[in-house]
A and B are shown apart, each in its own frame.
Chain A
């Protein structure tokens, strides 16, 4: 038994935002009540004074690299990194080796996550076999094995007909299709955002139009289906407008944004910093502001990291040869808190974007502190100040653009199914 006292409970699913004590028993939320009204009895007590007590955070977009690229990350190290960052659940993308395009790979991931016993890990299946963008993968088989969505993330689905069939077919299992929106022809092999900065640095740019055009295409396709479309890591002003407009028309479209896209602009690439290289690329200040306002007004539903571990050797190279992506699990929370602190996002909406919204998109029975629900809880000290030290991170990789940056806010306790998984101090 675990009693979390003296904290402010923020539970958007149940419209609670006030001081509450929380009792966890047998892996479930047993009681939520006014401060001091639950007798501790023999429960272990966590003092959450000055802290927020929120549903366990969910990152619906990570790359855990297992199987195939264990030198970058494993399910165990990724799940530990998640727990350290305050996440009780993550959904991992299919671009492993072999690709998660079959029930066998899905099962192996589920099993590996069970053994790690840290944050929950939900596999996302491939849309197409081998991520080749040609033939549908066995989505039904993977569904039975435990996938929570389908995506060819990393490989844009250039074939519009394949996207249409994926949306139609996945609807049969109520699986959402997560789309990496990039028209490769328009992107033209670019390695950063196309604009003033790419011109100055002499780097090949990919214009925002590559993302906007694909989002527009997929929204148009969605209208002909009864599927659900989720836009991954939205990064452009145009994309945010398209999603806002599609939602206003009542379409089943949702979107996520990554902390780097609402924190950094393309200017971070200066000096050919490969830790500022990712897809979609860091965009202009104007795009950053548009992504923030999309989060503030609810156009963008979820915050997801696109945690993408890469080995040092894959980043310590010429800019155009460097791999895309950065790690994000352990910096996502403080960067997200900035939206509330500096940019007018309400606390409830911020926490919803990190909990119940991704849970609903993936169809997970998580992200709420309702009595009887899974006891997945994150305790957040919003004022804890700390400096990012990549060597002190729990991820196997170190590719972050935030090294040495001061952060404000961190998860003090991460609880999965009633068990404290961070800090790692044994069973509750």
Chain B
């Protein structure tokens, strides 16, 4: 049975429960590689992965690079500043040129919502959305889900509070879509300026942090973009922190075994206090570790897509093996 037959990873909104579970299982299986003494497997040998980041990023870009290299892919990194965008070339033209060099995967980060989907319709290689505007950041949400399942094996029924700038957060969207598909109870916490009325269709909307995290199994903090200050979403960072900075006192309202996530980078003292970020409930470093496994799994699944053609090739290989020809390995293990 084909459990994952997607050409690209653009967003989790359309993913089924089965697909999400399968990707998470696969990611879980990849974790062990990073614990080995020699952290390299030949899974993507001979494959070319291009990371094309038109927006700044450290964590995600490095995470993809390490993941690709641990699977022996040839990895090329291109950033917005170095790209032809500076010379006035369109995103589409730059990407078409990259595509013409026959990479297997392009990892895209871009400030325009929908940029990854736009390109996916126009190139031959697989596209991984590493964040498009305020839309989705699917691998980050998969990291969060994997991290949650390591502490709470069944996501269905969990109360997950997502706190902060929901309006502008692609991490929030990917998580909301996937968590709802998996049956979690989603609570959205933040000031009304960052939670438009329509957010109510995604979950329970709460404007008070302590009430928002009450009896939560999981609290996901979002990074506050400091540049939102001055655009009247809230008066000052200081006032934001007063109401929405998660500290130990507020976290006390959550379940005793609550876990706290944050996609990074942290604004200590703004959305999260150090006592929480570095405290016993924090799984933030675990998220970073899991980032490698999730991104390895994502690349592996897209390149080793169990397509109809691939199934056919495998059947052909099996026939050849039966006929005593040179044995072709059919296993797709890693």
Query: Which residues on A are within 8 Å of B, measured CB to CB?
Result: 194-196, 199-205, 271-272, 313, 316-321
Give A313's nearest chain B residue, CB to CB: B90
Report whether A320 and B92 are in contact in the complex, using a CB–CB cutoff of 8 Å.
no
**Which stretch from B109-117, B141-149, B301-309, B324-332 is at the chain A interface?**
B109-117
Query: Could you tell me the distance in whole angstroms from the C-beta of A197 to the nearest C-beta in chain B?
Result: 9
Contact flag A199-B117 (CB < 8 Å), given A318-B91, A318-B112, A319-B112: no
Q: How far is the CB of B172 from chain A (nearest CB, A)?
A: 10
The answer to whether A201 and B112 touch across the interface, beta carbons within 8 angstroms, is no
Interface pair B114/A318, CB less than 8 Å apart: yes
Q: Tell me, in angstroms, the Cα distance from A201 to B110 when the chains sit together.
A: 14
Complex: how many Å from CA A28 to CA B198? Answer: 57
CA–CA, A316 and B91, complex, Å: 10
Chain A residues with CB below 8 A from B132, complex form = 202
Q: Which residue of B lies closest to A269 (CB)?
A: B114
Scan residues 300-318 of chain B and give those whose CB is less than 8 A from a CB of chain A: none
Complex-state Cα separation, A316 to B118, whole angstroms: 9
User: CB within 8 A of B92: which of A205, A272, A316?
Assistant: A316
**A323, chain B: closest CB distance, angstroms:** 13
A271 vs B132: C-alpha distance when bound (angstroms) = 13
Question: Which of A195, A202, A205, A316 is in CB contact (< 8 Å) with B135?
Answer: A202
Q: Which residues of B contact A (CB under 8 A)?
A: 13, 90-92, 110, 112-115, 117-118, 132-136, 167, 170, 173, 196, 198-199, 201
The answer on a CB contact under 8 Å between B114 and A201 is yes
Of A200, A201, A313, A321, the most chain B CB neighbours within 10 A belong to A201
A205 to B197: give the CA distance in the assembly, Å: 13
> Which one of B91, B173, B198, B201 lies within 8 Å of A202 (CB-CB)?
B173
- State in angstroms the CA–CA spacing of A320 and B196 once bound together: 20
CB distance from A312 to the nearest CB of B (A): 11
Q: Closest CB-CB distance, A103 to chain B, in whole Å?
A: 37
The complex places the Cα of A205 from the Cα of B134 at a distance, in Å, of 12
A202 touches B199 (CB 8 A): no
Report yes or no: A317 in contact with B90, Cβ–Cβ below 8 A. yes
Cβ-defined contact, B13 with A320, below 8 A: no
Q: Which B residues are CB-close (under 8 A) to A195?
A: 198
Q: Considering the chains assembled together, what is the distance between the CA atoms of A298 and B114 in angstroms?
A: 39
Contact across chains for B170 and A199 when beta carbons are under 8 A apart: no
Q: Flag if B199 contacts A199 (CB, 8 Å).
A: yes
From the candidates B92, B114, B118, name the one contacting A203 in the complex (CB within 8 A).
B114
Across-interface contacts of B170 in A (CB, < 8 A): 202
The residue on B at minimum CB distance from A274 is: B118
Contact of A196 among B91, B113, B117, B201 (CB under 8 A): B201
- Cα–Cα, bound, A272→B136 (Å): 13
Q: How far is the CA of A318 from the CA of B113 in the complex (A)?
A: 8
Cβ of B113 and Cβ of A319 under 8 Å apart? yes
Task: Please give, as numbers and ranges, the residues of chain A lying within 8 Å of B135 by CB-CB distance.
Answer: 201-203
Chain A residue nearest to B199 in the complex (CB): A199
| Contact across chains for A272 and B113 when beta carbons are under 8 A apart | yes
Chain A residues whose CB sits within 8 angstroms of the CB of B133 once the complex forms: 202-203, 320
What is the CB-to-nearest-CB distance from B168 to chain A, in angstroms, rounded to a whole number?
Answer: 8
Look across to chain A and name the residue whose beta carbon is closest to the beta carbon of B170.
Answer: A202
Which residues of the other chain, A, contact B199 by a CB distance below 8 angstroms? 199
Cβ contact within 8 Å between B196 and A199:
yes
A319 in contact with B201 given A202-B113, A202-B133 (CB within 8 Å):
no
| Docked pose: A314 CA to B118 CA in angstroms | 14
Q: How far is the CA of A200 from the CA of B113 in the complex (A)?
A: 10
Q: List 25 A-B contacts (CB under 8 A).
A: A195-B198, A196-B198, A199-B196, A201-B114, A202-B114, A202-B135, A202-B170, A202-B173, A203-B113, A203-B114, A203-B133, A203-B135, A272-B113, A272-B114, A316-B92, A317-B118, A318-B91, A318-B110, A318-B112, A318-B115, A319-B114, A319-B118, A320-B113, A320-B133, A321-B112
User: Using Cβ atoms and an 8 Å threshold, which residues of chain B touch A317?
Assistant: 90-92, 118
- Please report the C-alpha to C-alpha distance between residue A317 and residue B115 in the assembled complex, in whole angstroms: 8
Q: Which of A202, A205, A271 has the most CB of B within 10 A?
A: A202
Docked pose: A194 CA to B167 CA in angstroms:
12
Residues of B within 8 A of A316 (CB): 92
Expressed in whole angstroms, the Cα–Cα distance for A203 and B168 within the complex equals 9
Bound form: Cα–Cα A320–B135 in Å:
12
Besides A195-B198, A199-B199, A318-B91, 15 new A-B residue pairs in contact (Cβ under 8 A), listed by A number: A200-B13, A202-B134, A202-B173, A203-B114, A203-B133, A203-B135, A271-B117, A272-B113, A272-B114, A316-B92, A317-B91, A319-B114, A320-B112, A320-B113, A320-B133
How far is B133's CA from A203's CA once the two chains are assembled, in angstroms? Answer: 8
Which B residues are CB-close (under 8 A) to A313? 90
- Chain B residue nearest in CB terms to A195: B198
Most buried by A among B113, B196, B199: B113
Task: Report the Cα distance A236→B77, complex, angstroms.
Answer: 46
Complex CA gap A204/B115 in Å reads 14
- When the two chains form their complex, are residues B115 and A194 in contact, meaning their CB atoms are under 8 A apart? no
Cα–Cα, bound, A121→B15 (Å): 52
Bound Cα distance A195, B200 (Å): 12
In the A-B complex, the 5 residue pairs with the smallest Cβ-Cβ separation, listed nearest first, are A272-B114, A202-B135, A318-B112, A202-B134, A202-B113
